[in-house]
Amino acid sequence: MDKNNKQMLLGLGFTGAYGANAKAWKSEGVTGHIYPDIEADIRYAQLAEKGKFQFLFIGDFPGAIPNDNSEVPSMTLEPIITATAILQRTKNIGIAATVHTQWNVPYTVARQFKGIDLMSGGRIAWNAVTGSSPKVAQLFGVNLMDRQSRYESHYEFVEAVQQFWATWGEDALKADRETGVFADYRQVKPVYISGKYTQANGALPIPPSSQGQPVIFHSGGSPASIAFAGRYANAMIGEVWTIEQGIETRKALRQAAIDAGRNPDEIKFIAGLMPVIADSKREAIDRHATFMDEKVVQQRVYHIGMVLGLRLTPADLDRPIAPELLNSVEIDSYSDPRIENVLKVAHEGWTLRDIIYHSVIDYHPATLGDAKETADHLTTWFEAGAADGFWILPDAYETDLHRFVNEVVPILQERGIFHKEYEGETLRKNLDVPYQYGVDERLR
Ligand SMILES: Cc1cc2nc3c(=O)[nH]c(=O)nc-3n(C[C@H](O)[C@H](O)[C@H](O)COP(=O)(O)O)c2cc1C
């Protein structure tokens, strides 16, 4: 694709019932408080589709219970069930659903995902992660493996799933009334998998979908994660706070694809953004602040102090950090990657409280302000090569997702860096990644 008309990808982080913020159930516009409410999930997915988002990303940390009784548990309904319900009521948007490999079996995963792929006309992706939480492992009655074994078994698992996906030959289905042949079963070839961690024999009798087989996503960022994604995935959902970090991660991912024998354009790096969109920065800050109680603000005072290497206490909350203190801050290779964002906002002269409300030490970079501010962030990162696309984590769908779709998307389209229409009917087509059936033969 010509660099000048390269388009960014947009995904919606579907982490919480009402938005990315665990307190979003209190947001304006939320009514009824039915929880969990698949109808609401469908409505927000349809809104993302109206905004031409290429995909929803459904992460999974099963069993997580908040410590704070004012918060909603995230990712409550099982991702495959959620994805199936949403895909029945949408036409173009794809879904990346997370399923762990450590406590599942390849045949079940292969069967569920290929079934949804067929049912949705080729719009599902499997976000294949190992699972790295000992608490989650306990839910399934297993012990967490060490990282090396986790990834060794992950490779075997994903290859086994892809082998199952290709057991039904691409031309096996005949349904020929004249000859009376329904299927050429000689083209249905069982697999015999005998790995260190995975054993399975047999076939999965499901024909190809219009994108061949589900897309593989991965979420993470460690070297092991990047090596896995470079080998098997078409998109990696990441967590980076600066443009430089984005450029480095994207480069490492592309190199991992090359090392595996693939074309690096087939793997997309997706960075996160938490946008709060209002008519002015003040209004955005004030709205975000309604989701943060005083206890959290006070904890973050110490956290920001640690990031900057300064002694800050709640007594400092309602004044700016003195310029001479800011000028004494040193950045080195051990600094928290969020330090630059903290310093940038602090140098603008905001009080410590407002610095905290800027979300400077959150999971992802945040933009608080009008639609142009968010569009500028996305444009700058994209044009710098820090990401191929973004997963958007709006505080509350009722406010920020509506404004993102109605105000940010048109700016990006106007700038020629985001599509106006879906390129095709399958997720592969919309991600601009090739058709695939079975394990990629180029893998070294
Ligand atoms: C942005 C991002 C999203 C992630 N989403 C999930 C998820 O939904 N479920 C999960 O179990 N792990 C998730 N992870 C964890 C990673 O897959 C990975 O296990 C973790 O970063 C630890 O790295 P390691 O596996 O190399 O030890 C996510 C990580 C990142 C950075």
User: Are the C-beta atoms of 363 and 272 separated by less than 8 Å?
Assistant: yes
Cα 296 to Cα 290: distance, rounded to the nearest angstrom? 12
Whole-number Å distance, alpha carbon 133 to ligand 1 midpoint, is 9
27 Cβ neighbours under 8 A, 6+ residues apart:
18, 19, 21, 291, 395, 396, 398, 399
Q: Quickly tell me which residue has 């992460």 as its tokens.
A: 59
The CATH code for residues 3-277+370-431 is 3.20.20.30
Atom of ligand 1 nearest to the CA of 58: 8
Whole-number Å distance, alpha carbon 138 to ligand 1 midpoint, is 17
Q: Would you call 332 helix, strand, or coil by DSSP?
A: coil
Name every protein residue with a CB atom under 6 angstroms from any ligand 1 atom.
Answer: 59-61, 98, 100, 129-132, 147, 219-222, 224-225, 237-239
The pair of structure tokens assigned to 93 is 């948007």
Query: Terminus-to-terminus CA distance in the chain, angstroms?
Result: 26
**pLDDT given at position 32:** 65
**pLDDT given at position 335:** 94
The pair of structure tokens assigned to 417 is 């860096």
User: Are the C-beta atoms of 274 and 395 separated by less than 8 Å?
Assistant: yes
- Known binding residue 68? Answer is no
Q: Where are the domains of the chain?
A: 3-277+370-431, 281-357
Q: Which of 155, 104, 95 is nearest to 125 (CA)?
A: 95
**pLDDT given at position 3:** 47
DSSP state of 321: P
Residues of the chain with confidence (pLDDT) below 50: 1-3
Q: Would you call 239 helix, strand, or coil by DSSP?
A: coil
Whole-number Å distance, alpha carbon 183 to ligand 1 midpoint, is 41
User: Are the C-beta atoms of 149 and 240 separated by less than 8 Å?
Assistant: no
User: Are the C-beta atoms of 214 and 110 separated by less than 8 Å?
Assistant: no
- Known binding residue 380? Answer is no
Q: What angle separates helix 371-383 from helix 243-259, to the nearest 10 degrees? A: 40
**pLDDT given at position 34:** 74
Tens-digit pLDDT profile for residues 131-171: 999 999 999 999 999 999 999 999 999 999 999 999 999 99
Whose alpha carbon is nearest atom 9 of ligand 1? 60
